[in-house]
Structure 1
Amino acid sequence: MSQSSPAPATAAVDVVDIALDARSYPILIGQGESLWQQAEVHFPKGTSAVIVTNTTVAPLYLQALRQRLERHYPKVLEVALPDGEQHKNWQTLNLIFDALLGNGADRKAVLYALGGGVIGDMTGFAAACYMRGVPFVQVPTTLLAQVDSSVGGKTAINHPLGKNMIGAFYQPRLVVCDIDTLRTLPTEQLSAGLAEVIKYGPIYDMEFFAWLEANVERLVAQDADALRHAIRRSCEIKAAVVSADETEAGLREILNFGHTFGHAIEAGMGYGAWLHGHAVAAGMVLATRLSQKLGHLPDADFLARLVPLLQKAGLPIEAPRLDPARNAERYLELMRVDKKTQGGAIRFVLIAPPGQAHTEKVADAVAAQLLDECIA
C-alpha cells in the first residue's frame, strides 16, 4: 500500500493505469516532448477536437495543444470559458454546448479539457451529455487537477445550494499531466493542490505522509522531481480506490476527507471566495478533531503532525464563520446537501487510525458542538 519511494529522475514518463475494464485509461505524468509523444499515441480518433479552456489558461497553453491536435484531427475548435469556481454552473456549461452545436460537432468529436478542476469537471459533464456521450481527454494544468479532479471520472457543476451536486460519472480516455504547466501556477493555487496531495496520507498511506513532511519545502519551491513523485503517488492511490469503487458506493468516499466541511465553506462563503483546496485543508482539521471527539484518535499526535504540515504548505487551518449568529446551524444546513448524506443524517470521513479512513453518521448535536468549539 505504501510504495512511496520516489521514481528515478531519469524516467521519461510515469504511467498510472486506471483499471476499469472497457473504460480503463492511462494517466501520463512527465514533461517535455517525451510526454507529448507518448500522449499522442493515445489520442482518441475523431472527426474533430474541441479544446475547452478558460481565459487565464488559453494565452499560456492553448496554441501549443492546438498545434498538436491539428496533426490528428481534420478540424480543431476552441471554447474559452470565464475563469473561476463561480462560473461552474448551467450558464457556463451551455457555452460548451453552444460551440458544439454551432459548429456541427458530431458523435465523433473529442473534447479536450485544458485547465484546472473547474474546466475538467465541466468538460467531462458536457462530454457525458452531448449526444449522450462523446470521448474526452483531461489535460490538467493545476496541481489540484493533476492529483485529484482529473482522475476518476467525476464530472459536475455546482448549484447555489450545494457543490458538485449535478453531474455524472464519466471516465476520460486519457489524462496528460504536464509538470511544466505548474510553472505558471500562482502560489495560492499550488497550495490548494497540496491540500489534495496531503489528504492521501491520513486516508491511505502514512509513509507518503511522512515523505510529505520531509519534502513539503521542496514542493512549495516547485522542485520538479518532488512534484513528480507527489503527483505519481497521489494518482496511484486514487487509481487503486477508483478501480475498486468507480461510482462511490463505499470505499471511494474516503477520498472526501475534509470535503464535507470544505464544501460547506465554499458554498457558505460564496463560490470563489475560498479556493477548494483551502476549504478542504480547514475541513481536514475539523474532520480530524471530529475523529478525536468520537474516540477514533485517542491522542493528539496526528493532529500535531497535520497542522504544521498544512501551515508549511501555505494552507489555512481554521474554518471561517458562515453566520455571525447561527454558525453551527448554517454549517449543518449546507452539509446536509452533501452526496454522502443519507436519510437526512450527515456522514463524515473520519480517521481511525491514521492511514485508514471510514465514513460514519454523526449526530447533528455532536457536529454542532465541535463547530462551536473550533470556530471563534
Structure 2
Amino acid sequence: MLQEIEVKLPQKNYPIYIENGLFTQIGTLVRKHWAKVQQVALISDSNVTPLYAEKVRIQLANAGFQVYLYTVTAGEAAKSLGVASLLYDELLGDGFTRGAGVIALGGGVVGDLAGFVASTFMRGLAFIQIPTSLLAQVDSSVGGKTAVDLPAGKNLVGTFYQPDAVLIDPATLTTLSQRYLVEGYAEVVKMAAIASTNFWQLIEQVQSVPAIIEHAEALIKASVTFKAKIVMADEKESGLRQILNFGHTFGHAIEAGANGALAHGEAVSIGMVSLTQCFEHAGLTPAGLTAKLRHQLTAVGLPLTSDLIGQADFYNRIAKDKKNHNGRVNMIYLKAIGQPAIYPLALTDLPDFVSQHLLEEK
C-alpha cells in the first residue's frame, strides 16, 4: 500500500511516497507533480544506471516526458563543482530551459549533486528525488539540503532546495552491497537514538544484516516521519534541526581523514560511539548508553573506533566544518534515548575535552 508523508513548509509542501514496488508507478507519480514539465534530466551514477535507469526512463517516456540520462562516476568525488559544471554544460547543450525538471536517481551523492544542479541552473529547476540507497531513503533525500564538497571538507558549498516529491521503493535495497546497506542503517540508529524510545524499540528488532531488509519499510517510514517533523520545525537548521548532526561532527572529520577508506555511515557510527562515550564519561549521558549504541551497531558489523580521533588533522577538519560557528561547535549528545541536547564547546577546548573523556580511557 502506498504510504504518503507530507512535508509542510512555509514556502512549499511536498509528499514522500513509500512502497515496495513503487518503481512501477514512477511515471504516474512524476506526471502528477509535473503537469507542465516536458524535458527531464535523469541524473544517476555508474552503479545505479545499469540497474534502474532504463526502467525509470521508460516509465517517464510513457508519461510523456522527453528524458535525457546523465551518468556520473559513482563515489564521493562526483560531489564537486567540476562535475556540477560539466552537468551545466550538458544541460545547456541539450537545450534545457527553466521549465525543465531534474530527477536524482541514486544514493546520497547523486541526490546532493543533482539537487545542487537543480537549485542553481537557471536559478532553479523542478526537482524530484528517487533515492535507491538506505542512507538516501532515510536521511539525505528528505529535507532539501543539497551540496558539493571542496578539498577542505564535505558539503561546504550548497543550498536549501526542497524537492517537489520524494519517491522511495524499499525494493531497491536488495541490489545494494551488504556494506552500503549497513552504512545506511547507521543513520537509522542515529534517528532512533534522538527520536524516541518507541523508535529505539523498533531498531532493537534488528540484530543481523538480513533483519535490515526484513524491517526496511518500517525503518524507512519511522526515519522519514521523524526527519520530516524536524525539518518542518526548522527548515534552515537554525535551531532544532542541529540534533540531526548527532555523530556527524566527529564523523565528518573521521570520514575525510580516512581518504575513502570509510563510508559516510561507517564514520557516523564511529562518531556516535566516541561522542557518546565522551559525554557518558563527563557525566552528561547516563551510564550504559554507549554500550547500548555499541550493541546495536556491532550487531550488523559497523565500526566503532578510529585511530584518527585525537590527531591534529582531526581537529583541523572540525574547525573547517560548516558547523563551526565563530570558533564554537555545537556537540549533540544524549540525555537519554529520545532526548538529544546541544553542548556548545569552544574549538580551543575540544582537544582537552576529547583527551580527558575519551582518549585517557583507552
The answer (yes or no) to whether the contact 2:282–2:357 under 8 Å persists in 1 is no
Which moved further from structure 2: 17-26 or 122-131? 17-26
Cα distance in 1 for residues equivalent to 2:286 and 2:211: 32
Classify the secondary structure of the residue corresponding to 2:62: coil
Task: Say yes or no: does 1:314 pair with 2:301.
Answer: yes
Using a 3 Å threshold, how does the CA distance of structure 1 residues 253 and 219 change in structure 2: closer, same or farther? farther
What residue in structure 1 maps to residue 232 of structure 2?
243
Identical aligned pairs, as a percentage? 38
Task: Say yes or no: does 1:229 pair with 2:212.
Answer: no
Using a 3 Å threshold, how does the CA distance of structure 1 residues 35 and 68 change in structure 2: closer, same or farther? closer
Classify the secondary structure of the residue corresponding to 2:342: strand
The answer (yes or no) to whether the contact 1:157–1:164 under 8 Å persists in 2 is yes
1:215: Cα distance to partner? 3.0
Number of residues of Structure 1 aligned to a counterpart in Structure 2: 356
Classify the secondary structure of the residue corresponding to 2:128: strand
1:105: Cα distance to partner? 0.2
Cα distance in 2 for residues equivalent to 1:330 and 1:280: 17
Task: Say yes or no: does 1:294 pair with 2:279.
Answer: no
The answer (yes or no) to whether the contact 2:28–2:63 under 8 Å persists in 1 is no
1:267: Cα distance to partner? 1.2
1:220: Cα distance to partner? 4.0
Using a 3 Å threshold, how does the CA distance of structure 1 residues 145 and 328 change in structure 2: closer, same or farther? same
Task: Say yes or no: does 1:338 pair with 2:327.
Answer: no
Cα distance in 2 for residues equivalent to 1:19 and 1:149: 17
1:337: Cα distance to partner? 1.7
The answer (yes or no) to whether the contact 1:296–1:353 under 8 Å persists in 2 is no
Which moved further from structure 2: 27-36 or 203-212? 27-36
What residue in structure 2 maps to residue 42 of structure 1?
32
Task: Say yes or no: does 1:373 pair with 2:356.
Answer: no
Amino acid at match of 2:63: H
Amino acid at match of 1:287: L
Cα distance in 2 for residues equivalent to 1:266 and 1:255: 17
Once the two structures are superposed, residues 178-235 of structure 1 have per-residue CA deviations (whole angstroms, 9 ceiling, x without a partner) of: 1111110000000011000001122121221122112343754622xx1000000000
The answer (yes or no) to whether the contact 1:17–1:25 under 8 Å persists in 2 is yes
Classify the secondary structure of the residue corresponding to 1:105: coil
Using a 3 Å threshold, how does the CA distance of structure 1 residues 218 and 311 change in structure 2: closer, same or farther? closer
Amino acid at match of 1:118: V
Which moved further from structure 2: 24-33 or 276-285? 24-33
Superposed counterparts of 1:155-174, under 5 Å: 155-174=146-165
Q: Which residue among 106, 114, 126 is the counterpart of 1:123? A: 114
The answer (yes or no) to whether the contact 2:182–2:209 under 8 Å persists in 1 is no
1:116: Cα distance to partner? 0.2
1:346: Cα distance to partner? 2.4
What residue in structure 1 maps to residue 291 of structure 2?
304
Using a 3 Å threshold, how does the CA distance of structure 1 residues 17 and 231 change in structure 2: closer, same or farther? same
1:68: Cα distance to partner? 1.2
What residue in structure 1 maps to residue 18 of structure 2?
29
The answer (yes or no) to whether the contact 2:280–2:289 under 8 Å persists in 1 is no
Superposed counterparts of 1:140-151, under 5 Å: 140-151=131-142
Cα distance in 2 for residues equivalent to 1:21 and 1:345: 30
What residue in structure 2 maps to residue 99 of structure 1?
90
1:95: Cα distance to partner? 2.2
The answer (yes or no) to whether the contact 2:149–2:155 under 8 Å persists in 1 is yes
What residue in structure 2 maps to residue 257 of structure 1?
246
What residue in structure 2 maps to residue 353 of structure 1?
336
Cα distance in 2 for residues equivalent to 1:233 and 1:346: 28
Amino acid at match of 2:230: V
Cα distance in 1 for residues equivalent to 2:221 and 2:326: 37
Gaps of 5+ in 1: 1-11
Once the two structures are superposed, residues 267-286 of structure 1 have per-residue CA deviations (whole angstroms, 9 ceiling, x without a partner) of: 1122x321000000000001
Once the two structures are superposed, residues 298-332 of structure 1 have per-residue CA deviations (whole angstroms, 9 ceiling, x without a partner) of: 42x2112110110112210112326xxxx432211
Structure-2-length-normalised TM-score: 0.93
The answer (yes or no) to whether the contact 1:350–1:359 under 8 Å persists in 2 is yes
Which moved further from structure 2: 203-212 or 259-268? 203-212
1:40: Cα distance to partner? 3.7
Gaps of 5+ in 2: none
Classify the secondary structure of the residue corresponding to 2:110: helix
Cα distance in 2 for residues equivalent to 1:208 and 1:258: 18
Structure-1-length-normalised TM-score: 0.90
Amino acid at match of 1:28: Y
1:43: Cα distance to partner? 3.5
Task: Say yes or no: does 1:212 pair with 2:212.
Answer: no
